[in-house]
Chain A
Amino acid sequence: MGKLFINKYCHIKNNKVFLDGKLVFSDDEDHDMKPFLKSVYRFLKPSYNKFFKMDEISKLAYLCSEYLLQDFDLSAFNKDEIAIVLSNSYSTLITDQNHQNTIEVADNFFPSPSIFVYTLPNIMIGEIAIRHKINGENIFFIVENFDAGLLTDHINNLYLTRKAKVFIGGWVNMGPESYEAFLYLLSPSGQTGNNALEIEKIYNT
């Protein structure tokens, strides 16, 4: 069995989008994250109405995956050979707090299913899977910091046990004061081999 290679990576942070390390979009107006995500959407023009129903972290994950997959032909692979391996530190804290605000006090109690459903981090995986019709392996890890070793170990294990051939790996995190999405795409062909050091390197570019 051959190796896996890094085909593409996308990093969204500080109101900037980087594709394979190059700046592809930035919002010069000092926007908050919410309007920034909308402006990325308008720039990409994916016309995907489900976007507007998503919570903020799913929007972030979705937009990052749009950049990552826009020039990659997923149809060359079986849908169940494509795995999504994601991680973050805050799980869904921002949406958890939104749900908590709807239930905190008895005289202002109005929990909503459209908020509650987003209080699970793997909903991000679900949104990416729905958009790109991906049926393969899923996992969501909660770790303190971005952990290239953990992701690489898990992906290699899935690859060596022939459970997937193409991988979307990465980190989509949103806390009270910061947000960051970093996704990378691995397949059995390419130039840069997949290992924890390389992933760490592209994460830090």
Chain B
Amino acid sequence: MAYFLSTNIISSIGFTSEENFSALKNGVIGIKPVSEPSLYPEDFMAATINRAALKQKLISIQAAEIDFTFLERTMIYSIKQSLENTNVDPKSKSTLFIISTTKGNVDLLEKSKRHDVDPERVALWRMAEVISSFFGNPNKAICISNACISGVLALNTAAMYINADQYENIIVCGGDIISRFVVSGFMSFLSLSDEPCKPFDRDRNGLSLGEAAGTIILSKNPSASKQGIKFIGGATANDANHISGPSRTAEGSYIAIKKAMSEAGISPGQIDHISAHGTATPYNDEMESIAISRHNLQDAATNGIKGSVGHTLGAAGIIETAILLEEMRNNTLLKTSGYKNHGLSEQINISTENSVLELNTCLKMASGFGGSNAALIIQKI
């Protein structure tokens, strides 16, 4: 069994999981107008990390300015934070690093920019290696790049390795930044909202991009788990329908949830709370409501945090699971930032207020381009 040891989130609304949780509780919205022609010719909305504030903290990382890209430094800092107050030895052969990212250091492709690092670092495997080498880890870091399910898939993979007794501790770190590459791509899809995105809302009109790094450490040692929460099931599935649009019947998401529940050995009635993917695109949120409803999970309290921190791509599944762990530890259901009016064909239970709720067993959902879907289920020990 894999147990949650510790977490960290570096996002637009805070630099620890606790800060992020409390900002979400207070309704802080990290998505703001960005005027930066080097990122996009016109103003756009995005949830960016406060680089000036983070810089002070990053100074602690050796040769911070020269040897690492901003993304690498942020991920390294996130891992350092999550290692504090644990007895996990990152140099140990029984510790593995799993890195989740969609585009990594893609900004290194920009010819017009001066780059301080070796352009080879645009290779995702190389970035993963640079991060695990910083900590002196002897194993080859595993790098997963599977669109917007990368983070959940990385956690599922970590749990599977621990269950197979291959490692004692696995450090799962996800990160992606706001780049010209990604902003222009989503803009060309006409999928970015012109205001902070509104997951599951009637008037939702697209997603907001965000940037973040997040870390979750999983361990096979239950007594080390200060979180008191374990991983009990996870799966992925493909819609086999369309490369850039979700299935109308939510086939892949339905299968991923079904298989995760089957591995966890639980029935839908045991799920107290769902942290959805909730991108606020019309099709994604509708699809998720169908997957939830097909499993008779309409009554389970459902929320999403992208209305505050944006869609953080390869970090999303990790930071959203870290927030889910905070909700469970505090028995607090968070409201869904941006959600006001019901706008789905299925009557699912989207949270509108923070509330006290006993949260024992929870489901995390994710979906992405390529028809990919993932689910994981966690439970209090």
Q: Which residues of A contact B (CB under 8 A)?
A: 79-80, 84, 89-91, 93, 96-97, 99-100, 102-106, 109, 111-113, 116-117, 119-127, 129-130, 132-144, 147, 150, 153-154, 157-158, 160-161, 163
User: Assuming the A-B contacts A100-B181, A142-B145, are A117 and B238 also in contact, with contact meaning beta carbons closer than 8 angstroms in the complex?
Assistant: no
User: B111 at the A/B interface (Cβ < 8 Å)?
Assistant: yes
Say yes or no: A111 contacts B235, CB within 8 Å.
no
A117 to B181, CA, bound (A): 12
- Nearest CB in chain A to that of B141: its residue: A143
Say yes or no: A121 contacts B145, CB within 8 Å.
yes
Instruction: Write out the residue numbers on chain A whose beta carbons fall within 8 Å of the beta carbon of B255.
Output: 80, 135
Q: Mark each residue of chain B from 154 to 195: 1 if its CB lies under 8 Å from any CB of chain A, else 0.
A: 000100110110100000000000001100111111100000
- Nearest CB in chain B to that of A130: its residue: B240
Say yes or no: B163 contacts A137, CB within 8 Å.
no
Instruction: Write out the residue numbers on chain B whose beta carbons fall within 8 Å of the beta carbon of A79.
Output: 240
User: B336 at the A/B interface (Cβ < 8 Å)?
Assistant: no
The segment from B85-93, B118-126, B315-323 found at the interface with A is B118-126
User: Assuming the A-B contacts A140-B145, A163-B259, are A99 and B243 also in contact, with contact meaning beta carbons closer than 8 angstroms in the complex?
Assistant: no
Say yes or no: A104 contacts B112, CB within 8 Å.
yes
A109 to B190, CA, bound (A): 15
Q: Find residues 223-250 in chain B having any chain A CB closer than 8 Å to their own CB.
A: 235-244
Say yes or no: A111 contacts B188, CB within 8 Å.
yes
Say yes or no: B185 contacts A99, CB within 8 Å.
yes
Say yes or no: B111 contacts A104, CB within 8 Å.
yes
* 13 extra A-B contacts, CB within 8 A, seeds A103-B180, A113-B188, A139-B146: A80-B255, A90-B123, A109-B41, A120-B369, A125-B146, A126-B371, A135-B239, A135-B252, A138-B146, A138-B238, A158-B160, A161-B160, A163-B259
Chain A, interface SS category: mixed
Please pick, from B142, B238, B372, the residue contacting A134 in the complex, using a CB distance under 8 A: B238
Say yes or no: A135 contacts B251, CB within 8 Å.
yes
Say yes or no: B146 contacts A122, CB within 8 Å.
yes
Instruction: Write out the residue numbers on chain A whose beta carbons fall within 8 Å of the beta carbon of B370.
Output: 120, 122-126, 138
A105 to B239, CA, bound (A): 37
Q: Find residues 90-130 in chain B having any chain A CB closer than 8 Å to their own CB.
A: 102-103, 106, 109-112, 122-126, 128-129
Please pick, from B163, B263, B371, the residue contacting A129 in the complex, using a CB distance under 8 A: B371
Say yes or no: A138 contacts B244, CB within 8 Å.
no
Please pick, from A120, A138, A141, A161, the residue contacting B142 in the complex, using a CB distance under 8 A: A141
Say yes or no: A100 contacts B157, CB within 8 Å.
no
Say yes or no: A80 contacts B125, CB within 8 Å.
no
Q: How far is the CB of B180 from chain A (nearest CB, A)?
A: 6
A-B contact pairs, 16 of them (CB 8 A): A100-B181, A111-B187, A113-B190, A117-B243, A119-B185, A123-B243, A126-B371, A127-B243, A132-B240, A133-B240, A135-B238, A135-B240, A138-B237, A138-B238, A141-B143, A161-B263
A132 to B309, CA, bound (A): 37
A154 to B159, CA, bound (A): 12
A129 to B106, CA, bound (A): 27
- Nearest CB in chain A to that of B166: its residue: A153
- Nearest CB in chain B to that of A54: its residue: B243
Please pick, from B111, B144, B161, B181, the residue contacting A141 in the complex, using a CB distance under 8 A: B144
A135 to B60, CA, bound (A): 46
Instruction: Write out the residue numbers on chain B whose beta carbons fall within 8 Å of the beta carbon of A153.
Output: 161, 166
A141 to B372, CA, bound (A): 14
Please pick, from B123, B157, B180, B240, the residue contacting A154 in the complex, using a CB distance under 8 A: B157
Please pick, from B145, B146, B161, B241, the residue contacting A130 in the complex, using a CB distance under 8 A: B241
Say yes or no: A142 contacts B124, CB within 8 Å.
yes
Q: How far is the CB of B76 from chain A (nearest CB, A)?
A: 19
Instruction: Write out the residue numbers on chain B whose beta carbons fall within 8 Å of the beta carbon of A161.
Output: 160, 163, 263
Say yes or no: B236 contacts A137, CB within 8 Å.
yes
Say yes or no: A122 contacts B372, CB within 8 Å.
yes
Say yes or no: A97 contacts B109, CB within 8 Å.
yes
User: Assuming the A-B contacts A142-B145, A157-B161, are A99 and B238 also in contact, with contact meaning beta carbons closer than 8 angstroms in the complex?
Assistant: no
Say yes or no: B240 contacts A157, CB within 8 Å.
no
A126 to B370, CA, bound (A): 4
Instruction: Write out the residue numbers on chain A whose beta carbons fall within 8 Å of the beta carbon of B103.
Output: 96, 119
Please pick, from B124, B189, B237, B244, the residue contacting A80 in the complex, using a CB distance under 8 A: B237
Say yes or no: A126 contacts B372, CB within 8 Å.
yes
Q: How far is the CB of A194 from chain B (nearest CB, A)?
A: 16
Q: How far is the CB of A190 from chain B (nearest CB, A)?
A: 23
Say yes or no: B145 contacts A122, CB within 8 Å.
yes
Q: How far is the CB of A149 from chain B (nearest CB, A)?
A: 9
